[in-house]
């Protein structure tokens, strides 16, 4: 049994349009948890490896990937992003891609 918040996060993630990205804060805000940015990360860290959710479209507020640039998770996410046409340079994406609004 998943908690309501967890399910909420899931639905929000799946609602992020392809080719765009959202920050943890944006997702948290969307989930009615304005101060719950870290919580999002916490939930995502618990995601099963076989998830189909676009977790890779979630970045930090400054456009950076949340992982260390030398970690395998970082490279994985970067690749997924570029597959969607999202350019990643210097570990960051174009801030204009944060156009996701509700």
Partner DNA sequence: GGGCTGACTTTTC
Partner DNA sequence: AGAAAAGCCAGCC
Q: How far out from the chain centre does Cα 61 lie? A: 10
CB of 31 to DNA, least distance (A): 9
Alpha carbons 16 and 72: distance in angstroms, whole number: 24
Binding site for DNA (CB under 7 A): 3, 5-6, 23-25, 33-47, 55-56, 58, 60-62, 66-67, 73, 77
* Residue 66 vs 91, nearer CB to DNA: 66
Alpha carbons 85 and 66: distance in angstroms, whole number: 19
* Residue 41 vs 91, nearer CB to DNA: 41
């Amino acid at each position: 049994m998943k908690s309501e918040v967890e399910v909420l996060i899931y639905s929000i993630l799946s609602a992020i349009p392809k080719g765009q990205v959202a920050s943890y804060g944006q997702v948290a805000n969307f989930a009615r948890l304005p101060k719950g940015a870290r919580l999002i990360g916490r939930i995502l860290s618990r995601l099963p490896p076989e998830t189909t959710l676009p977790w890779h479209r979630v970045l930090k507020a400054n456009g950076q990937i949340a992982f260390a640039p030398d970690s395998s998770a970082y490279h994985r996410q970067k690749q997924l992003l570029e597959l969607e046409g999202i350019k990643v340079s210097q570990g960051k994406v174009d801030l204009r891609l944060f156009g996701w609004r509700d």
